Amino acid sequence: MYVVVSPAVSLNGSESPDRNPDQGSGRGVSVVLTPLDAAGLPNGPAETVSPESLATAVQEREAAGRPRWVWDDTAHWYPMLLAAGVRVERAVDLRLSHAILRRSALTSGSALAASAPSAWDGPRALPARQRQETTLFDFDEGPVPSAGELDSLAEFRLQRAAITASGDPSRLGLLLAAESAGALIAAEMQFAGLPWNARRHDELLTRALGPRPAPGARPAEMEALLARIRHELSDPEANPDSPQELVKALRRAGIQTESTRSWELRNIKHPAIEPLLAYKKLSRLLTANGWNWIDTWVTGGRFHATFVPGGVVTGRWAADGGGALQLPHAVRGAVIADDGWKLVVADAAQLEPRILAALSGDRAMAAAGRDQDLYNGIVASGAVDTRAHAKLGMLGAMYGGTSGESGRMLPRLAKAYPHAIRFVEDAARAGERGEIVSTRLGRSSPAPSDAWLDGQDAGGDGSEAARRRAQTEARSWGRFTRNFVVQGTAAEWALCWMAGLRGRLSELAGPAAALTDGPHLAFFLHDEIMVHTPGELADDVARIVRETAAEAGRLIFGDAPVQFPVTVAIVDSYDEAKD
DNA sequence: TACCCGCGCCAC
DNA sequence: AAACGTGGCGCGGGTA
């Protein structure tokens, strides 16, 4: 059973749907709930409810039969339901699904793929704090649509038709279910927030930087380092906050450097370098995750990150605000479970090479990862001599690295794991030819831009410079498609993992407790998840985390002989979880 | 004042 | 040792 949730639109246009109404203000249009069968045909009476009574109506239907809620944008509808204490089990996010189906090679012949760009290709609903800062619609392509174009019933039927007619409905069906579940999870995680102890964070900052300085002033530790830098450079004006000025100051002191990047400075022998590197480290901590960050992002002991499902072309999530996907290890000690609660932190071990082994059907690589660290398994097979080399080589193979240690490992890996290496090489060659590549479940890469295609044309019969530029661009796009298939399929695995985990957590404690009263997902980072749970359930959660990881592998790869082990830590503080 | 871009660095 | 994928973000320094 599906129920479409859509704004009521009157024919005279006096009520127009607003994708970003002021939540909770009472303004906004009525909402229609339309029951549908799997083919998209009505199978019950539609009901019109006021915005104020939407949550109650959803709650009632959820309790009665757990329908699959169909709406244009989870980021628009679900936060207000969550704020009212309503959790839904299943949903279809039409906007996220549309983005996948429009581009997928599996649905290239569908009416949906052929349709003109519309509001369905537009951006997600924005969180409240950004609404005044951005225009409502900001399109990369196509005209600005009228809001009335967002006809969720029609779009749902278009999507069902595209999926049914695709060569492999089960793959796309799984992908869209996982993507939509991810949208629910993202909203729930933002609602619950990551437990964040501002006092502990302040202690960490004070230990590293000194006490919080007055606004605009440097912390004491940075001031002390600055004095040392200036002394060692014999330059009382040296300014490490400006790369341009710093390069000049370094050159005046006889230090030849092209940039002020830490890795370049690290190779220079000069007494100013050590305090300079320390200064840069502290400066980064201060500006990115210092006291201002706490003031901006921590409220009520929680960091309410905005996760953006589908925000990355490969299908990875992006984040918006607070740098949620780049929380530095230096402040993870401030992530502390509530009293009597635990953090269950789980990390998929060597996820991407395992994904590659499964994608390519490379039995030797699958064997290398069986019941052990995959990189150690590669060493044990005799292909390379150390774990570091195995890791470097595999990352290079998946990223398209050619130089250094990584490039030197490639021939050995290609010999030991020919199927795996050929798989990524094929993806790279396809990209270089301008072709599209797809993940296991059917998310396809974007076509190269017109500028890229023009460049390739120009390289064919143009000057030597044009030819070289074309080759450089071709190889660059090849590195993108090479990585796309692995990173994108790893993202699918992670979505399936999370979706399965979410379901099992709600079974464990009951759906009523699943928002914040019981074990719930609190954080996600590409191949790592965190559950905030009452302490007495932590062992159960840890077991479920492992089981759902294995299930995700079976869902996507069937009985492929590749394991997907996870390292699980039950801790009070995020920094106790080993990386 | 508002915007834009390059730099550098954080995460995976 | 630094070149090889996906991102976000704050800053300095420039422009409109």
Regarding whether A448 and A338 lie in a shared domain, the answer is no
Question: Using CA atoms, how far apart are residues A25 and A127, in angstroms rounded to an integer?
Answer: 15
**pLDDT value, residue A129:** 44
Which nucleotide is closest, CA of A286 to its C1'? C10
SS3 of residue A202 by DSSP? helix
**pLDDT value, residue A137:** 39
Q: What tokens were used for A477?
A: 């796009």
**pLDDT value, residue A47:** 94
**pLDDT value, residue A369:** 97
> Which protein residue lies nearest to nucleotide C6, measured between its Cα and the C1' atom?
A312
- Is A175 part of any domain? no
**pLDDT value, residue A579:** 65
Regarding whether A141 and A124 lie in a shared domain, the answer is yes
CATH, residue A441: 1.10.150
Regarding whether A147 and A25 lie in a shared domain, the answer is yes
Main-chain phi, psi angles of A33, to 5 degrees: -110, 115
Regarding whether A153 and A12 lie in a shared domain, the answer is yes
CATH, residue A285: 1.20.1060
**pLDDT value, residue A287:** 95
Regarding whether A328 and A272 lie in a shared domain, the answer is no
Supply the range of the domain harboring residue A237: 199-293
Q: What tokens were used for A40?
A: 């998209």
Residue numbers of chain A with a pLDDT score lower than 70: 9-28, 126-150, 579
Q: Which of A260, A293, A326 is the last residue of a domain?
A: A293
**pLDDT value, residue A124:** 76
> Which protein residue lies nearest to nucleotide C7, measured between its Cα and the C1' atom?
A318
What one-character-per-residue DSSP string does A164-199 give? HHSS-HHHHHHHHHHHHHHHHHHHHHHHH-EE--HH
Main-chain phi, psi angles of A94, to 5 degrees: -65, -35
Regarding whether A9 and A152 lie in a shared domain, the answer is yes
Regarding whether A284 and A237 lie in a shared domain, the answer is yes
Q: Which of A262, A293, A324 is the last residue of a domain?
A: A293
Distance A269 CA to B7 C1' (A): 23
| Number of domains into which chain A is organized | 4
> Which stretches of A381-417 are DSSP H helices?
387-399, 404-416
Instruction: Determine the length of chain A.
Output: 579
Strands A68-71, A2-7: pairing is parallel
Nearest to A448 by CA among A399, A491, A481, A482: A481
Q: A404: Cβ under 7 Å from strand C?
A: yes
Q: What tokens were used for A422?
A: 């050929």
Q: Side by side, which strands form the sheet with A302-303?
A: A194-195, A302-303, A298-299
Measure Cα distances from A562 to A360, A365, A371, A374, A550 in Å.
Answer: 11, 9, 10, 11, 10
- Is A180 part of any domain? no
Distance A257 CA to B7 C1' (A): 15
Q: List protein-proximal bases of chain C (any atom < 7 A from a CB).
A: 1-13
